[in-house]
């Protein structure tokens, strides 16, 4: 029974994922290296047309500061564009429900959410946003925010493989090629697959029907959902066309659509590991990073599955028997698919859900929360997960260098105090912002007035909200009214800091590394593809995550779990 219900579905999922890693990873490497990739005869003319229309000179490369400026400018323009659409929504086309303009605070929060690849939503999509807003504001930013993370990663990789130069590539070219050659084709294929399963894609007005049971009128929402859902999963965006997210039958109607969407969440982050190996001319490096991610992800996923396969002790105390904790989960998917989705969406910066995380057991909810606390380097967002992992690798080789008394090196580049300072800043930004804002939310009436659950669970809801926004994840524990001026404003600022303030030290490191010479490998060089290094890397990731957030977790899900054990013997 265990093999049939748990092992076989998970084994099939990871088998398909790993089979996709090499072909997709190799394809993306060819795209970024400017080599023929198979779609050139169709897309190259489109690419050249884009460059001409936008006055882009693809042959002109940029230093790290100009590269950063271009990314910040593009995303600032995107934020203003989305904000303007929301504030003028009532007067724009494709609004069959005649939705009003979005309030200033919510418009600010949502605009920053979608440009930062967070996709945190403090609203219900089917009763707040028009089709025009969903498509031109949110779906467009799903592509651009994902491409931004991928561009930063490629610039970082060039910093490692180039030497004695100052340029990291052209930001406009990297973003264009990320969207045109990778995100658009994959999204088109997934959209077609999802529509074949029943995911809706239309511009119809909402339907009114009379229910059979009560003869009452019900409103059935419509809309162009499939196109947004495809890129929300592939681009590690998250969010949902409807408020119920991927638990909604119009977003995720069948087990096949559920499998495809779960696969899409990890597909590009996993394949980018192989892309990295190809681009640095050492595929072992990419496989080592991928295995390190899996060796963290699979045990934590297993703990979540184990916790959710226990009945809710409150129900058990009432004499209600159940085969596991099915509260908040879709019977169409069950416990395994619900927990796999929750773990995958929080290991990446996806944040979509097909079940209610607020209804998980304390231990089951702890793991998704901690996966965000680990910095979302276990797969992580498209691009952002891998460059976050590379920062941890820099810290790891520095620690190893201190242990053996040698100047640390990675891929032939010396890791010196400047790189360590920048890596430390990038690694500490998210925890610092999350913990400070969580403390502010707990001690102010503006923060606590939104809590709908008392005690440790209420604290967990605030911690999860600021963790999700600070980690650019977007999922939520719910049970917390986040559509307030306090959470919309502070959350929007937090998402901007966590995404773009962290990008500065990352590109600064790339700019420093690209100027250095390549040091030949010798007997004293630490191999960074061996099982020993993988174990050391995993240890650093877990220690950093534990030391930073363990006190806060103790006040939330950990104490709640101990309360369950003490009260119900569970």
- The rounded average pLDDT for each run of 10 residues, N- to C-terminus, in the chain (570 residues) is 72 95 97 92 94 94 95 94 95 92 94 93 90 93 95 96 94 96 96 95 88 75 92 90 90 94 95 96 95 95 90 68 80 91 92 89 91 89 93 92 80 90 90 94 91 86 93 86 92 93 92 92 81 93 88 90 72
Three-class secondary structure of residue 138 per DSSP: helix
Give pLDDT, residue 331.
87
Q: How many CB atoms lie within 10 A of CB 285?
A: 23
pLDDT of residue 214: 64
Cα separation of 121 and 232, whole Å? 13
- Specify the pTM: 0.94
Whether 542 contacts 392, CB under 8 Å: no
The pLDDT assigned to 309 comes to 87
Among 508, 515, 520, smallest CA distance to 164 is for 515
CA 447 to chain centroid: 25
Lookup: tokens for 432: 């610092």
Longest CA–CA span in the chain (Å) reads 80
User: Residue for token digits 């564009």?
Assistant: 81
Do 105 and 53 touch, CB atoms closer than 8 A?
no
Phi, psi angle pair for 280, to nearest 5°: -90, 5
Give the 3-state secondary structure of residue 451: strand
Q: Which residue has the tokens 């409807």?
A: 242
- Pairwise CA distance, residues 317 & 414, whole Å: 60
263 sits in which H/E element: helix 255-279
| Domain-wise residue ranges, the chain | 395-568
Three-class secondary structure of residue 413 per DSSP: strand
In this structure, the number of other CB atoms found within 10 A of the CB of residue 183 comes to 23
Query: By the 8 A CB rule, do 370 and 561 touch?
Result: no
Report the distance separating Cα 102 and Cα 164, nearest Å.
50
C-beta atoms surrounding 479 within 10 Å: 19
Q: What is the CA radius of gyration of the chain?
A: 23
The pLDDT assigned to 291 comes to 96
Decide: 172 and 148 in contact? Cβ < 8 Å. no
How far is the C-alpha of 470 from the C-alpha of 498, rounded, in Å?
6
**b or e along 483-493 (b: 16 or more beta carbons within 10 Å of the residue's beta carbon)?**
bbebbbebbbb
Taking the chain, what is the end-to-end CA distance rounded to the nearest angstrom?
23
Residue corresponding to tokens 């524990």 = 477
Task: Say if CB 386 and CB 289 are below 8 A apart.
Answer: yes
CB 483 within 8 A of CB 106: yes
pLDDT at 568: 64
């Amino acid at each position: 029974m265990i093999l049939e219900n748990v092992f076989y579905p998970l084994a099939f999922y990871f088998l398909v994922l790993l089979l996709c890693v090499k072909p997709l990873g190799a394809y993306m490497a060819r795209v970024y290296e400017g080599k023929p990739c198979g779609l050139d005869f169709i897309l190259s003319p489109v690419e050249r047309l884009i460059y001409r229309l936008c006055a882009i000179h693809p042959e002109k490369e940029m230093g790290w500061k100009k590269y950063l400026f271009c990314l910040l400018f593009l995303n600032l323009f995107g934020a203003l564009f989305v904000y303007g659409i929301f504030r003028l929504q009532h007067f724009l086309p494709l609004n069959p429900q005649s939705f009003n303009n979005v309030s200033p605070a919510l418009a600010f929060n949502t605009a920053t959410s979608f440009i930062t690849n967070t996709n945190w939503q403090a609203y219900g999509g089917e009763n707040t946003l028009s089709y025009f807003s969903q498509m031109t504001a949110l779906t467009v930013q799903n592509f651009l925010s994902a491409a931004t993370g991928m561009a930063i990663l490629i610039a970082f990789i060039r910093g490692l493989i180039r030497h004695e130069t100052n340029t990291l590539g052209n930001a406009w070219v990297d973003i264009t090629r990320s969207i045109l050659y990778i995100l658009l084709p994959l999204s088109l294929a997934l959209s077609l697959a999802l529509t074949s399963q029943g995911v809706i894609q239309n511009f119809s007005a909402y339907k009114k029907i009379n229910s059979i049971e009560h003869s009452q009128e019900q409103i059935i929402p419509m809309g162009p959902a499939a196109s947004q859902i495809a890129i929300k999963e592939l681009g590690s965006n998250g969010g949902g066309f409807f408020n119920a997210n991927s638990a909604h039958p119009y977003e995720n109607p069948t087990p096949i659509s559920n499998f495809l969407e779960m696969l899409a969440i990890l597909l590009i982050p996993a394949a980018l590991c192989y892309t990295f190996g190809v681009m640095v001319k050492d595929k072992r490096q990419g496989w080592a990073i991928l295995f390190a991610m899996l060796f963290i992800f699979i045990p934590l996923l297993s703990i979540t599955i184990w916790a959710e396969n226990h009945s809710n002790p409150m129900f058990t105390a009432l004499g209600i028997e159940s085969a596991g904790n099915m509260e908040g989960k879709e019977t169409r998917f069950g416990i395994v698919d619900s927990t796999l989705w929750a773990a995958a969406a929080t290991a990446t910066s996806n944040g979509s859900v097909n079940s209610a995380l607020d209804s998980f057991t304390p231990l089951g909810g702890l793991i998704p929360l901690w996966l965000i606390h680990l910095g979302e380097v276990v797969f992580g967002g498209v691009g952002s997960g891998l460059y976050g992992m590379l920062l941890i690798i820099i810290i790891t080789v520095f620690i190893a260098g201190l242990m053996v008394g040698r100047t640390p090196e990675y891929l032939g580049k010396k890791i010196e105090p400047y790189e360590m300072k920048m890596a430390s800043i990038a690694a500490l930004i998210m925890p610092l912002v999350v913990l400070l804002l969580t403390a502010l939310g707990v001690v102010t009436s503006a923060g606590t007035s939104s809590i709908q659950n008392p005690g440790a669970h209420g604290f967990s809801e605030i911690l999860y909200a600021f963790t999700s926004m600070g980690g650019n994840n977007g999922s939520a524990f719910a049970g917390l009214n986040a559509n307030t001026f306090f959470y919309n404003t502070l959350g929007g600022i937090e998402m901007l800091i966590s995404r773009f303030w962290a990008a500065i030290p990352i590109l600064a490191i790339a700019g420093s590394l690209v100027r250095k010479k390549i040091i030949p490998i010798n007997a004293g060089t630490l191999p960074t593809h061996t099982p020993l290094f993988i174990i050391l890397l995993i240890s650093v990731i877990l220690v950093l995550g534990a030391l930073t957030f363990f006190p806060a977790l103790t006040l939330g899900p950990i104490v709640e779990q101990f309360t369950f054990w003490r009260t119900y013997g569970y």
